[in-house]
Amino acid sequence: MGTKEKPRGFTRVRFMLALWAAKLSVPVLKLTRHNGTNFPGELAMKICPDFLRYVARPGKIITVTGTDGKTSVVNLLCDMLDNAGQKVLSNRLGSNVNSGVATSLITGCTVFNRARFPLAVLEVDERSSGKIYPWVMPDLTVITNLFRDSIMRNGHPEYIAGVLTDNMPPETKLLLNGDDLICAGVAPSNDRSYFGLERMATDGTACLNRINDLRICPHCAGKLRYEFVRYHHIGRAMCLDCGFRSPDCDYSGGDVDTAAMTMTVRDAGGEGTYRLLSDSVFNIYNELTAIAVFRELGYDHPAILKLMDGLKIAESRYRADRAGQVEVVMHLAKDRNALACSRVFDYVASCPGEKELILMMNNLNDDKNWSENTCWLYDCDFEFLNTPSVTHIIVTGPRAKDYRLRLLMAGVPAERIDCVREELMSVDKLRLVPDSHIYILYGTDTMNLKLAAQVREAAIRKAEEAVK
Amino acid sequence: MTIEILYPELCNLYGDLSNIEYLARSTQAEVISTSLKETPRFPTQDVALVYMGTTTERGQELVRDAFAPHLEALRRRTDAGGVTLVTGNAMEIFGEYIELDGGERLPMLGFLPIHSTRRLLKRYNSLYLGQFGDLKIVGYKSQFGHSWGDVGEGLFTTLRGAGLNPDVKPEGVRIRNFMATYLIGPLTVLNPLFAKELLRLMGVTDPKLLFEEEAMDAYRARLEEYSDPKRHFTY
């Protein structure tokens, strides 16, 4: 991608002032232990609203966006680039909105606005793309997938696809999920490659989820026939009326074997058999995406295999502890996000053994400021929890009564449900059947995180006391 | 008893279809799903409720085009007192036009005396508290625009939150038993008393709801919450 426009006259003075003030704020924030915030970027954009337009760009910029998997893919890419000895700028510790991206670029340039890094890998919030892409002008943009997310911010995936299309620079190459036809349709005039996973043993031919955001052809509105459906609208489809179909994938993951933990990635340049970093389909997609990015960067399969040595997918969203005769598992289930919770419910339900669940994904921040919009409960597949291995569900927090009703609607028998308003009191209801698993499903807002940690400690205490 | 859902492959955002799931499971009603390229059944068949839910912006245009040939049948149904429920931005499809960001007017069906705006960079999110006869209504709004027009008393009278637009009290539109509202999601689940009223209009005598006790418990809690003057209403 070409060099950036240079500020002139008063704009140059204002831009340099913004850059220096922002740079100066970095050590101050470190001294006051406030590093990792967006403040430098916010300050720079306050002084110079066009800051992103003029700040120096690294030699090559890769951006990663999409509903789910952005952070995991950016982490994988950065770890692999680190293994390759590449100096890379990223916002992995900061935020993915415009001020977060600005903060990273401030770190990545000198006081004379010269780029210090040959390469940047930036996570970009899809809703913020209008404030980022036209100025940052990525060389390669990866879109992991496009699903329903927060109703309030994101509306629906077709809207987000439109936002991305409207703001993507025409010169940016796209690397898209070919199994997601909403994602695959972004910015149709841009050069592009696709990645995807071949049919897996667990795939079906009909969507079993409440959400399927692509039931009709995006071109002629005809009925789509799915060759296979993995979940929601992920799969491969064709239109019975006009012949429109899922694109052929340039990077295709096949022979996925979750017992042997291997996958083979094939493309025009050859193939490589990779160790799976995780057995969840979401993470298999994340790994495939990272491999595809490295192929785009010109690395061959043997070289990529080497870079993946010792790599792990951060399991910060999952923690298991043995306590007394049970296992206590903390699992993030992104609140207000029907799809993320559906995936977690599906995963938990399919885990072996008897399970007790504490559902506490309430958004407490919303509860403090207004009241959580619970529409997402009826987009979410609570039906996965209607299975004999989930023997007991405790719903708790401000929306406990809504959860109870939703579980009943999903067919979960009333005797398996307990409704407790106070989160910490929910632990009293645990039955602690020997050799069972206690799952605490918690949300993302900071108040919820703190409370979930307390509930976990209380559950562990109770489980340990039970065997004394 | 039969309920017809129009274009569920498109009009299904924000859990809207749970409205029908709840009513149908409470009454063992038969549900017919009519897709975009099919002919609606209500003009030729006895349908107790016709329902259309929230859709995408592209969906609004597709639905407008698909439904246009059946507009006269809807008029006849409405004149005869047939029950129809339209939620979220599907209401705008029945209005006169939608004014887009650039000022361009997108013609709609012209069945309702309203016109709407679409501001894609300005999403409006709020809680809602209103009145339907003697019943209190609770719910959610999440939309890209508002509507204007002379709708009389509307469907609901706003107590807190925005009406058809933030400056007026009437929310939604009611023409006999044709009811349209901007409220999204599980309206009938959140409002069991309204759900029962709807069932009565559909001809069910002494309606009973699935999990009525639990639904009422959640409704009372939400009503108390939304009636608290300290509770903020917009996101």
Residues of A in contact with B53 (CB under 8 A): none
User: What is d(CA B35, CA A193) in angstroms, rounded to the nearest whole number?
Assistant: 33
Q: Give which of B30, B27, B23 is closest to B4, Cα–Cα.
A: B30
The answer to whether A200 touches A231, Cβ cutoff 8 Å, is no
Give the strand order in the sheet containing A270-275: A88-90, A119-123, A60-65, A140-143, A173-177, A192-197, A251-257, A262-267, A270-275
List chain A residues with CB under 8 Å of B183. Answer: none
Interacting residues of B14 by C-beta distance below 8 A, sequence separation 6+: A151, A375, A376, A378, A379, B53, B54, B88, B140, B142, B184, B185
Give pLDDT, residue A2: 54
Residue contact A375–B225, C-beta within 8 A: no
What are the angstrom distances between the C-alpha of A362 and each of A237, A338, B13, B142, B228?
35, 13, 21, 19, 20
Angle at A110 between CA A104 and CA A116, to 5 degrees: 70
Give the nearest chain A residue to B228 (CA atoms).
Answer: A370
Average pLDDT over every residue of A48-56: 95
DSSP string computed for A131-199: HHHHHH--SEEEE-------HHHH--HHHHHHHHHHHS-TT-EEEEETTBHHHHTSSTTS-EEEEEE--
Query: With bands split at pLDDT 50, 70 and 90, how would you rate the model's confidence at A444?
Result: confident
**Pairwise CA distance, residues A403 & A400, whole Å:** 5
- What SS3 class is residue B58? helix
Query: Residue A36 pLDDT > 70, yes or no?
Result: no
Residues 71-100 on A with a CB inside 8 Å of B are none
Q: How confident is the model over B3-15, as a mean pLDDT?
A: 97
Distance from C-alpha of A456 to C-alpha of A326, rounded to nearest angstrom: 13
pLDDT band at A1 (very low <50, low <70, confident <90, very high): low
Q: What is the DSSP letter of A376?
A: G
Q: For position A286, what pLDDT does the model report? A: 96
From CA B48, how far away is CA B77, in angstroms rounded?
11
Residue A302 dihedral angles phi and psi, to the nearest 5°: -60, -40
pLDDT digits (tens, 9 = 90+) for A205-236: 999 999 999 999 999 999 899 999 999 999 99
The residue ranking higher by pLDDT, A280 or B31, is B31
Report the C-alpha gap between B202 and A263 in whole angstroms: 56
ipTM of the complex in this document: 0.97
- Distance from the Cα of A400 to chain B's closest Cα (Å) equals 9
Residue A450 contacts by C-beta under 8 Å, 6 or more apart in sequence? none
A402: nearest Cα among B227, B85, B220: B220
Can you give the residue ranges of every domain in chain A?
9-307, 318-466
DSSP assignments along B128-146, one per residue: EEEEETTEEEEEEEEES--
pLDDT tier at B67 (50, 70, 90 boundaries)?
very high
Q: Starting at the earlier edge strand, list the strands of the sheet with B30-34.
A: B30-34, B2-6, B49-52, B83-87, B178-181, B173-175
CATH fold label, A318-466: Protein-Tyrosine Phosphatase; Chain A (3.90.190)
Question: Does B231 lie at the interface with A, CB-CB under 8 angstroms?
Answer: yes
Nearest residue to A172 via CA among A134, A205, A144, A146: A134
Phi, psi dihedrals of residue B99, rounded to the nearest 5°: -90, 125
Kindly tell me the sign of the dihedral angle through the C-alpha atoms of B149, B152, B156, B160: positive
Q: Is residue B235 less than 8 Å (CB to CB) from chain A?
A: yes
DSSP lists the bridge partners of residue A224 as: A239
Nearest to B211 among A210, A366, A409 (CB): A409
Q: Is B120 an interface residue toward A (CB < 8 Å)?
A: yes
Q: Report chain B's mean pLDDT, rounded to a whole number.
A: 97
| pLDDT tens-digit series, residues A98-140 | 999 999 999 999 999 999 999 999 999 999 999 999 999 999 9
> Which residues partner with A438 through β-bridges?
A328, A356
- Cβ contact A221–B189 (<8 Å): no
Q: CATH fold of A9-307, please?
A: UDP-N-acetylmuramoyl-L-alanine:D-glutamate ligase (3.40.1190)
Which of B15, B211, B235 is closest, CB to CB, to A376? Answer: B15
A204 vs A219: CA distance, rounded Å: 24
Instruction: State the pLDDT at residue A3.
Output: 62
Mean local confidence (pLDDT), B28-48: 97
Taking CA atoms, what residue in A is nearest to B192? A405
Average pLDDT of A426-440? 97
pLDDT value, residue A35: 67
Sign of CA dihedral B43, B45, B47, B51: negative
Confidence band for A260, pLDDT divided at 50, 70 and 90? very high
Residues A317 and A331 sit within 8 Å (Cβ to Cβ): yes
Average pLDDT over all residues of chain A: 94
pTM of structure: 0.93
- pLDDT tens-digit readout, B119-136: 998 999 999 999 999 999
CA A94 to mean position of chain CA atoms: 15
- Whether the CB-CB separation of A183 and A242 falls below 8 Å is answered with no
Are A172 and A190 in contact by the 8 Å Cβ rule? The answer is yes
Task: Determine the 3-state secondary structure of A354 from DSSP.
Answer: coil
Tokens found for residue A363: 């958004």
> What pLDDT is recorded for position A316?
61
For A:190-249, CB contacts with B below 8 A are 210, 215-216, 221-223
User: Tokens 């108040």 appear where?
Assistant: A447
Percent of chain A with pLDDT over 90: 85
CATH number for the domain running over B2-227: 3.40.50.880
Strand, helix or coil for residue B170: strand
Whether B223 and chain A come into contact, CB under 8 Å, resolves to no
Q: Please report the pLDDT score of residue A191 as a whole number.
A: 98
* Cα distance between residue A304 and residue B213, in whole Å: 59
Q: What percent of chain B has pLDDT over 90?
A: 97
What number is the average pLDDT over the span B219-223?
Answer: 97
- Give which of A159, A409, A412, A421 to mutate to test B binding, by max B Cβ within 10 Å: A409
**Opening angle at CA B161, ends A150 and A395, nearest 5:** 50
Whether the CB of B93 is below 8 Å from some CB of chain A: the reply is: no
With CA atoms as reference, the chain A residue closest to B89 would be A155
Domain ranges of chain B: 2-227
Q: What is the CA radius of gyration of chain A?
A: 23
Instruction: Give the closest of B14, B18, B57 to A151, CB-based.
Output: B14
- B153-199 pLDDT tens trace: 999 999 999 999 999 999 999 999 999 999 999 999 999 999 999 99
A–B: how many Cβ contacts below 8 A?
Answer: 101
Which of A221, A366, A408 lies at the smallest CB-CB distance from B62?
A221
Question: What share of chain A in percent tops pLDDT 70?
Answer: 98
- Cβ proximity of A239 and A224 under 8 Å: yes
pLDDT at B48 over 70: yes
* Residue B123 amino acid letter: R
What is the per-residue pLDDT across A330-343, written as a single tens digit (0 to 9) for each?
999 988 999 999 99
H helices of A332-399, in order, are 338-350, 364-369
- The average pLDDT across A380-398 equals 97
Lowest mean pLDDT among A179-193, A329-343, B67-81, B98-112: A329-343
- Predicted local confidence at residue A318, as pLDDT: 79
Q: Any CB–CB contact under 8 A between B15 and chain A?
A: yes
> Residue A119, class by beta-carbon neighbours within 10 Å (0-12 exposed, 13-18 middle, 19+ buried)?
buried
